[in-house]
A = this chain, B = another copy of it.
Amino acid sequence: MGHTCVTATTSDEGVAVPVTIRDVARASGVHISTVSRTFSAPHLVNPETRVRVLACAEDLGYRPNRAARALITGRTHNIGLIIADIANPFFPPLIKAAESQARHRDYHVFVADTNEDPTAEEELVHALAKQVDGVLLCSPRMSNSLIEQLSREVPLVVVNRQVTGLPCVLMDVGQGARSAIEHLVGLGHRSIALLGGPRSSWTNREMRRAAAAAARAGGAELTMLGPNAPTEVGGSAVAEQVRRSGVSAVLAYNDLMAIGLIEGLDALGVRVPQEVSVVGVDDITLSRLTRPKLTTVATPTGAAGRTAVDMLLQQDIESPRAARGSGAGTALGVRRTTAQVMLQTDLVIRDSTGPGPYARPARPLAAPRGPGPHCPADPGIPTAATGDAVAS
Protein backbone atom coordinates (compact mmCIF):
# COMPACT_ATOMS: atom_id res chain seq x y z
CA MET A 1 0.00 0.00 0.00
CA GLY A 2 3.01 2.24 -0.15
CA HIS A 3 2.89 3.22 3.47
CA THR A 4 4.99 2.41 6.44
CA CYS A 5 3.42 1.27 9.65
CA VAL A 6 5.26 3.12 12.35
CA THR A 7 3.78 1.70 15.50
CA ALA A 8 1.04 -0.63 16.55
CA THR A 9 0.27 -0.77 20.23
CA THR A 10 -2.62 -2.01 22.25
CA SER A 11 -4.13 -0.14 25.13
CA ASP A 12 -6.93 -0.71 27.60
CA GLU A 13 -8.18 2.83 27.55
CA GLY A 14 -11.83 2.52 28.43
CA VAL A 15 -14.02 2.78 25.41
CA ALA A 16 -16.93 5.14 25.78
CA VAL A 17 -18.23 4.33 29.24
CA PRO A 18 -21.70 5.56 28.45
CA VAL A 19 -22.95 7.62 31.38
CA THR A 20 -26.66 8.30 31.21
CA ILE A 21 -29.13 10.52 32.90
CA ARG A 22 -29.82 7.66 35.28
CA ASP A 23 -26.27 7.61 36.58
CA VAL A 24 -26.43 11.30 37.29
CA ALA A 25 -29.76 10.87 39.05
CA ARG A 26 -28.37 8.14 41.26
CA ALA A 27 -25.26 10.14 42.06
CA SER A 28 -27.15 13.26 43.00
CA GLY A 29 -30.03 11.54 44.73
CA VAL A 30 -32.86 12.85 42.60
CA HIS A 31 -35.21 11.41 40.04
CA ILE A 32 -34.14 11.21 36.43
CA SER A 33 -36.79 13.68 35.44
CA THR A 34 -35.16 16.28 37.63
CA VAL A 35 -31.86 15.69 35.91
CA SER A 36 -33.57 15.98 32.58
CA ARG A 37 -35.13 19.28 33.59
CA THR A 38 -31.81 20.55 34.83
CA PHE A 39 -30.66 20.48 31.25
CA SER A 40 -33.75 21.14 29.21
CA ALA A 41 -35.75 23.44 31.52
CA PRO A 42 -33.41 24.73 34.25
CA HIS A 43 -35.89 27.30 35.56
CA LEU A 44 -38.13 24.51 36.75
CA VAL A 45 -35.62 23.15 39.21
CA ASN A 46 -34.45 24.47 42.54
CA PRO A 47 -31.16 26.31 42.22
CA GLU A 48 -29.55 24.21 44.95
CA THR A 49 -30.62 20.99 43.33
CA ARG A 50 -29.50 22.32 40.01
CA VAL A 51 -25.95 23.00 41.07
CA ARG A 52 -25.73 19.63 42.74
CA VAL A 53 -26.97 17.85 39.64
CA LEU A 54 -24.70 19.86 37.39
CA ALA A 55 -21.74 19.06 39.60
CA CYS A 56 -22.48 15.36 39.46
CA ALA A 57 -23.00 15.51 35.72
CA GLU A 58 -19.71 17.30 35.32
CA ASP A 59 -17.99 14.75 37.53
CA LEU A 60 -19.32 11.80 35.64
CA GLY A 61 -18.81 13.43 32.29
CA TYR A 62 -22.46 13.19 31.37
CA ARG A 63 -23.57 14.33 27.91
CA PRO A 64 -27.22 14.26 26.90
CA ASN A 65 -27.85 11.66 24.24
CA ARG A 66 -29.08 13.70 21.33
CA ALA A 67 -30.46 10.68 19.50
CA ALA A 68 -32.68 9.70 22.40
CA ARG A 69 -33.75 13.27 22.87
CA ALA A 70 -34.62 13.53 19.20
CA LEU A 71 -36.65 10.38 19.40
CA ILE A 72 -39.09 11.95 21.79
CA THR A 73 -38.98 15.63 20.93
CA GLY A 74 -38.94 15.05 17.19
CA ARG A 75 -36.24 17.65 16.75
CA THR A 76 -32.63 16.81 16.26
CA HIS A 77 -31.23 20.31 16.01
CA ASN A 78 -29.31 19.18 12.97
CA ILE A 79 -29.75 20.17 9.40
CA GLY A 80 -28.48 18.27 6.39
CA LEU A 81 -26.70 19.84 3.46
CA ILE A 82 -26.54 17.82 0.28
CA ILE A 83 -23.97 19.02 -2.19
CA ALA A 84 -23.34 17.92 -5.74
CA ASP A 85 -19.57 18.20 -5.47
CA ILE A 86 -17.58 19.51 -2.53
CA ALA A 87 -14.51 19.80 -4.69
CA ASN A 88 -16.22 22.53 -6.68
CA PRO A 89 -15.02 25.76 -5.05
CA PHE A 90 -18.43 27.22 -5.62
CA PHE A 91 -19.82 25.36 -2.63
CA PRO A 92 -17.51 25.96 0.33
CA PRO A 93 -18.61 29.59 0.82
CA LEU A 94 -22.21 28.44 0.73
CA ILE A 95 -21.48 25.70 3.23
CA LYS A 96 -19.67 28.04 5.54
CA ALA A 97 -22.41 30.62 5.44
CA ALA A 98 -25.04 27.99 6.13
CA GLU A 99 -23.01 26.62 8.99
CA SER A 100 -22.49 29.96 10.59
CA GLN A 101 -26.15 30.86 10.28
CA ALA A 102 -27.18 27.49 11.68
CA ARG A 103 -24.81 27.79 14.58
CA HIS A 104 -26.34 31.08 15.61
CA ARG A 105 -29.63 29.29 15.95
CA ASP A 106 -28.09 26.40 17.83
CA TYR A 107 -28.17 23.98 14.95
CA HIS A 108 -25.44 21.77 13.56
CA VAL A 109 -24.89 21.10 9.89
CA PHE A 110 -24.08 17.74 8.35
CA VAL A 111 -22.69 17.97 4.86
CA ALA A 112 -22.90 15.13 2.39
CA ASP A 113 -21.34 14.91 -1.05
CA THR A 114 -23.10 13.13 -3.90
CA ASN A 115 -20.49 13.25 -6.63
CA GLU A 116 -23.08 14.64 -9.03
CA ASP A 117 -24.94 11.34 -8.73
CA PRO A 118 -28.76 11.56 -8.54
CA THR A 119 -29.03 8.11 -6.98
CA ALA A 120 -26.69 9.04 -4.19
CA GLU A 121 -28.77 12.15 -3.67
CA GLU A 122 -31.93 10.20 -3.09
CA GLU A 123 -30.24 7.71 -0.84
CA LEU A 124 -28.72 10.44 1.24
CA VAL A 125 -32.02 12.19 1.76
CA HIS A 126 -33.44 8.96 3.11
CA ALA A 127 -30.43 8.38 5.30
CA LEU A 128 -30.56 11.89 6.69
CA ALA A 129 -34.32 12.08 6.98
CA LYS A 130 -34.70 11.00 10.57
CA GLN A 131 -31.43 12.43 11.80
CA VAL A 132 -32.00 16.03 10.81
CA ASP A 133 -34.85 18.50 11.04
CA GLY A 134 -34.55 19.46 7.41
CA VAL A 135 -32.37 19.21 4.36
CA LEU A 136 -30.85 21.77 2.03
CA LEU A 137 -30.62 20.40 -1.49
CA CYS A 138 -27.93 22.32 -3.33
CA SER A 139 -27.90 22.18 -7.13
CA PRO A 140 -29.69 18.83 -7.13
CA ARG A 141 -29.39 16.58 -10.15
CA MET A 142 -32.49 14.50 -9.62
CA SER A 143 -35.91 15.10 -11.12
CA ASN A 144 -38.38 17.65 -9.82
CA SER A 145 -40.97 14.99 -9.16
CA LEU A 146 -38.57 12.96 -7.06
CA ILE A 147 -37.71 16.04 -5.08
CA GLU A 148 -41.36 16.72 -4.44
CA GLN A 149 -41.84 13.16 -3.31
CA LEU A 150 -38.88 13.30 -0.96
CA SER A 151 -40.15 16.53 0.49
CA ARG A 152 -42.93 14.55 2.09
CA GLU A 153 -40.38 12.62 4.06
CA VAL A 154 -38.41 15.54 5.43
CA PRO A 155 -38.65 19.32 5.12
CA LEU A 156 -36.63 20.45 2.14
CA VAL A 157 -35.23 23.70 0.85
CA VAL A 158 -33.85 23.70 -2.65
CA VAL A 159 -30.97 25.84 -3.84
CA ASN A 160 -30.37 26.52 -7.52
CA ARG A 161 -33.46 24.72 -8.66
CA GLN A 162 -37.06 25.76 -9.04
CA VAL A 163 -39.58 23.29 -7.68
CA THR A 164 -43.16 24.45 -7.42
CA GLY A 165 -44.57 24.12 -3.94
CA LEU A 166 -41.16 24.00 -2.33
CA PRO A 167 -39.13 26.81 -0.82
CA CYS A 168 -36.34 27.66 -3.21
CA VAL A 169 -33.30 29.89 -3.20
CA LEU A 170 -32.32 30.88 -6.70
CA MET A 171 -29.51 32.95 -8.11
CA ASP A 172 -30.41 35.06 -11.05
CA VAL A 173 -28.03 33.50 -13.54
CA GLY A 174 -30.43 34.52 -16.28
CA GLN A 175 -29.68 38.14 -15.52
CA GLY A 176 -26.02 37.22 -15.19
CA ALA A 177 -25.89 35.54 -18.57
CA ARG A 178 -27.64 38.52 -20.12
CA SER A 179 -25.10 40.93 -18.65
CA ALA A 180 -22.26 38.75 -19.85
CA ILE A 181 -23.60 38.55 -23.39
CA GLU A 182 -24.26 42.29 -23.44
CA HIS A 183 -20.73 42.89 -22.21
CA LEU A 184 -19.31 40.74 -24.99
CA VAL A 185 -21.50 42.27 -27.66
CA GLY A 186 -20.45 45.69 -26.44
CA LEU A 187 -16.84 44.64 -26.91
CA GLY A 188 -17.53 43.83 -30.52
CA HIS A 189 -18.16 40.10 -30.41
CA ARG A 190 -20.80 38.81 -32.82
CA SER A 191 -20.10 35.10 -32.70
CA ILE A 192 -20.33 33.69 -29.22
CA ALA A 193 -20.41 30.19 -27.78
CA LEU A 194 -22.23 29.04 -24.68
CA LEU A 195 -20.38 26.23 -22.97
CA GLY A 196 -23.07 24.22 -21.18
CA GLY A 197 -22.81 22.32 -17.92
CA PRO A 198 -24.77 19.35 -16.58
CA ARG A 199 -27.98 18.77 -18.51
CA SER A 200 -30.07 18.33 -15.37
CA SER A 201 -28.94 21.63 -13.91
CA TRP A 202 -31.56 24.35 -13.59
CA THR A 203 -28.82 26.95 -13.79
CA ASN A 204 -27.77 25.50 -17.09
CA ARG A 205 -31.25 25.80 -18.60
CA GLU A 206 -31.70 29.33 -17.31
CA MET A 207 -28.41 30.41 -18.78
CA ARG A 208 -29.19 28.94 -22.18
CA ARG A 209 -32.53 30.64 -22.29
CA ALA A 210 -31.31 34.05 -21.21
CA ALA A 211 -28.13 33.95 -23.25
CA ALA A 212 -30.01 33.02 -26.39
CA ALA A 213 -32.44 35.89 -25.90
CA ALA A 214 -29.68 38.37 -25.17
CA ALA A 215 -27.65 37.28 -28.19
CA ARG A 216 -30.66 37.63 -30.44
CA ALA A 217 -31.34 41.08 -29.06
CA GLY A 218 -27.72 42.09 -29.58
CA GLY A 219 -27.51 40.77 -33.10
CA ALA A 220 -24.98 38.10 -32.25
CA GLU A 221 -24.94 34.46 -33.13
CA LEU A 222 -24.90 32.01 -30.24
CA THR A 223 -23.44 28.52 -30.59
CA MET A 224 -24.37 25.94 -27.98
CA LEU A 225 -21.61 23.62 -26.79
CA GLY A 226 -21.88 20.83 -24.25
CA PRO A 227 -23.28 19.57 -22.01
CA ASN A 228 -20.04 18.86 -20.21
CA ALA A 229 -18.81 18.07 -16.72
CA PRO A 230 -18.67 21.33 -14.70
CA THR A 231 -14.95 20.99 -14.03
CA GLU A 232 -11.63 22.16 -15.43
CA VAL A 233 -11.46 18.97 -17.43
CA GLY A 234 -14.90 19.57 -18.85
CA GLY A 235 -13.69 22.99 -19.95
CA SER A 236 -10.37 22.06 -21.45
CA ALA A 237 -12.03 19.22 -23.33
CA VAL A 238 -13.84 21.63 -25.64
CA ALA A 239 -10.89 23.88 -26.41
CA GLU A 240 -10.32 22.29 -29.80
CA GLN A 241 -14.02 22.52 -30.59
CA VAL A 242 -14.04 26.19 -29.63
CA ARG A 243 -11.11 26.94 -31.87
CA ARG A 244 -12.67 25.16 -34.84
CA SER A 245 -16.02 26.84 -34.34
CA GLY A 246 -14.42 30.19 -34.99
CA VAL A 247 -16.25 32.05 -32.23
CA SER A 248 -14.49 35.02 -30.70
CA ALA A 249 -16.00 34.68 -27.23
CA VAL A 250 -17.26 32.01 -24.87
CA LEU A 251 -19.58 32.16 -21.89
CA ALA A 252 -18.92 29.12 -19.72
CA TYR A 253 -21.31 27.40 -17.33
CA ASN A 254 -18.98 28.14 -14.43
CA ASP A 255 -15.53 29.43 -13.55
CA LEU A 256 -13.99 25.99 -13.34
CA MET A 257 -14.91 25.25 -16.94
CA ALA A 258 -13.83 28.72 -18.01
CA ILE A 259 -10.44 28.24 -16.43
CA GLY A 260 -10.08 24.79 -17.95
CA LEU A 261 -11.00 26.21 -21.32
CA ILE A 262 -8.41 28.96 -21.04
CA GLU A 263 -5.80 26.32 -20.19
CA GLY A 264 -6.88 24.23 -23.12
CA LEU A 265 -6.82 27.16 -25.52
CA ASP A 266 -3.42 28.14 -24.23
CA ALA A 267 -2.14 24.66 -25.01
CA LEU A 268 -3.43 25.10 -28.56
CA GLY A 269 -1.69 28.42 -28.87
CA VAL A 270 -4.88 30.43 -28.76
CA ARG A 271 -4.46 33.50 -26.58
CA VAL A 272 -7.05 34.82 -24.14
CA PRO A 273 -8.37 37.48 -24.38
CA GLN A 274 -6.49 38.54 -27.52
CA GLU A 275 -8.02 35.91 -29.77
CA VAL A 276 -10.88 34.57 -27.71
CA SER A 277 -12.66 36.18 -24.77
CA VAL A 278 -13.88 33.96 -21.96
CA VAL A 279 -16.47 34.65 -19.25
CA GLY A 280 -17.21 32.38 -16.32
CA VAL A 281 -19.87 32.20 -13.66
CA ASP A 282 -19.52 32.06 -9.87
CA ASP A 283 -16.54 34.28 -9.07
CA ILE A 284 -14.72 31.64 -7.08
CA THR A 285 -11.54 32.74 -5.35
CA LEU A 286 -9.51 31.00 -7.97
CA SER A 287 -10.79 33.28 -10.69
CA ARG A 288 -8.77 36.11 -9.21
CA LEU A 289 -5.58 34.06 -9.15
CA THR A 290 -5.27 32.72 -12.64
CA ARG A 291 -3.65 34.59 -15.49
CA PRO A 292 -5.50 36.23 -17.09
CA LYS A 293 -7.81 37.04 -14.23
CA LEU A 294 -11.26 35.83 -15.10
CA THR A 295 -14.20 38.00 -16.08
CA THR A 296 -17.13 36.32 -14.42
CA VAL A 297 -20.69 36.54 -13.16
CA ALA A 298 -20.50 36.70 -9.38
CA THR A 299 -23.14 34.64 -7.61
CA PRO A 300 -24.08 35.44 -4.01
CA THR A 301 -23.25 32.07 -2.54
CA GLY A 302 -22.95 33.22 1.04
CA ALA A 303 -26.32 34.91 0.97
CA ALA A 304 -27.81 31.79 -0.59
CA GLY A 305 -26.54 29.61 2.25
CA ARG A 306 -27.83 31.96 4.92
CA THR A 307 -31.19 32.46 3.26
CA ALA A 308 -31.70 28.76 2.72
CA VAL A 309 -31.03 28.00 6.38
CA ASP A 310 -33.38 30.74 7.45
CA MET A 311 -36.15 29.44 5.25
CA LEU A 312 -35.69 25.92 6.48
CA LEU A 313 -35.71 26.86 10.12
CA GLN A 314 -38.68 29.12 9.73
CA GLN A 315 -40.61 26.35 8.05
CA ASP A 316 -39.49 23.94 10.72
CA ILE A 317 -40.64 26.07 13.57
CA GLU A 318 -44.09 26.37 12.11
CA SER A 319 -44.60 22.66 11.97
CA PRO A 320 -43.03 20.80 14.88
CA ARG A 321 -42.74 17.32 13.47
CA ALA A 322 -43.91 14.66 15.87
CA ALA A 323 -47.01 15.90 17.61
CA ARG A 324 -47.47 14.22 20.92
CA GLY A 325 -50.32 11.69 20.96
CA SER A 326 -49.68 8.28 19.56
CA GLY A 327 -52.26 6.81 17.24
CA ALA A 328 -53.89 9.89 15.87
CA GLY A 329 -52.16 10.84 12.65
CA THR A 330 -49.82 13.73 13.19
CA ALA A 331 -50.44 17.23 11.99
CA LEU A 332 -51.72 16.35 8.58
CA GLY A 333 -52.59 19.15 6.27
CA VAL A 334 -50.47 21.66 8.11
CA ARG A 335 -50.45 24.83 6.12
CA ARG A 336 -46.95 25.88 5.29
CA THR A 337 -45.87 28.83 3.28
CA THR A 338 -43.30 28.26 0.61
CA ALA A 339 -41.42 31.23 -0.68
CA GLN A 340 -39.04 31.43 -3.58
CA VAL A 341 -36.22 33.88 -3.27
CA MET A 342 -34.22 35.15 -6.20
CA LEU A 343 -30.78 36.58 -5.45
CA GLN A 344 -29.03 39.03 -7.70
CA THR A 345 -25.84 38.35 -9.60
CA ASP A 346 -23.16 40.78 -10.74
CA LEU A 347 -20.85 40.85 -13.68
CA VAL A 348 -17.25 41.31 -12.58
CA ILE A 349 -15.05 42.43 -15.42
CA ARG A 350 -11.41 41.39 -15.27
CA ASP A 351 -8.83 40.41 -17.84
CA SER A 352 -10.19 37.45 -19.75
CA THR A 353 -12.41 39.53 -22.00
CA GLY A 354 -11.23 41.97 -24.61
CA PRO A 355 -12.37 43.61 -27.81
CA GLY A 356 -13.79 41.42 -30.54
CA PRO A 357 -13.66 41.55 -34.32
CA TYR A 358 -16.33 44.22 -34.53
CA ALA A 359 -14.93 46.50 -31.88
CA ARG A 360 -15.13 50.19 -32.69
CA PRO A 361 -11.52 51.34 -32.62
CA ALA A 362 -12.21 54.18 -30.24
CA ARG A 363 -8.61 55.35 -30.12
CA PRO A 364 -5.41 54.45 -31.91
CA LEU A 365 -3.95 51.45 -30.25
CA ALA A 366 -0.49 50.36 -29.40
CA ALA A 367 0.98 48.06 -32.02
CA PRO A 368 -0.21 44.53 -31.45
CA ARG A 369 2.57 42.56 -29.85
CA GLY A 370 3.03 39.04 -31.15
CA PRO A 371 1.49 37.50 -34.23
CA GLY A 372 -2.11 38.28 -33.42
CA PRO A 373 -3.94 40.74 -35.69
CA HIS A 374 -6.16 41.66 -32.81
CA CYS A 375 -5.64 44.42 -30.39
CA PRO A 376 -4.80 43.77 -26.77
CA ALA A 377 -7.28 45.06 -24.27
CA ASP A 378 -8.48 48.39 -25.50
CA PRO A 379 -7.70 50.93 -22.79
CA GLY A 380 -10.73 52.88 -23.92
CA ILE A 381 -13.07 50.14 -22.87
CA PRO A 382 -14.45 50.70 -19.43
CA THR A 383 -13.24 47.54 -17.74
CA ALA A 384 -14.29 48.73 -14.38
CA ALA A 385 -12.61 45.79 -12.69
CA THR A 386 -14.26 46.53 -9.41
CA GLY A 387 -12.48 43.53 -8.07
CA ASP A 388 -15.09 41.69 -6.11
CA ALA A 389 -17.64 42.85 -3.59
CA VAL A 390 -20.81 40.98 -4.30
CA ALA A 391 -24.03 42.27 -2.84
CA SER A 392 -24.59 40.00 0.11
Partner of A126, one of B5, B63, B110: B63
Residue pair B127, A108 in contact (C-beta under 8 Å): yes
- 24 inter-chain pairs at a CB distance below 8 angstroms, sorted by A residue, are A1-B307, A1-B391, A3-B307, A3-B341, A3-B343, A4-B341, A4-B344, A5-B340, A6-B170, A10-B338, A11-B338, A12-B334, A14-B152, A15-B155, A15-B319, A18-B330, A63-B130, A78-B127, A87-B93, A95-B113, A111-B111, A232-B285, A289-B290, A290-B291
Counting chain A residues whose Cβ lies within 8 A of the other chain, the interface size class is 35 or more
Interface residues of A in 14-72 (CB under 8 A from B): 14-18, 61, 63, 65-68, 70-71
Residue pair B112, A110 in contact (C-beta under 8 Å): yes
Q: Which residues of B contact A334 (CB under 8 A)?
A: 12, 14-15
Measured CB to CB, the closest approach of chain B to A84, in angstroms, equals 12
Residue pair A15, B336 in contact (C-beta under 8 Å): yes
CA distance A342 to B6 in the complex (A): 6
Most buried by B among A108, A110, A155, A285: A110
If A2-B303, A14-B333 are given as contacts, then 9 extra A-B residue pairs at C-beta distance below 8 Å, sorted by A number, are A1-B307, A3-B300, A3-B341, A3-B343, A17-B152, A61-B152, A67-B71, A131-B131, A289-B290
Q: Mark A330-351, 1 if CB is under 8 A from B, else 0.
A: 1111111111111110000000
Measured CB to CB, the closest approach of chain B to A287, in angstroms, equals 11
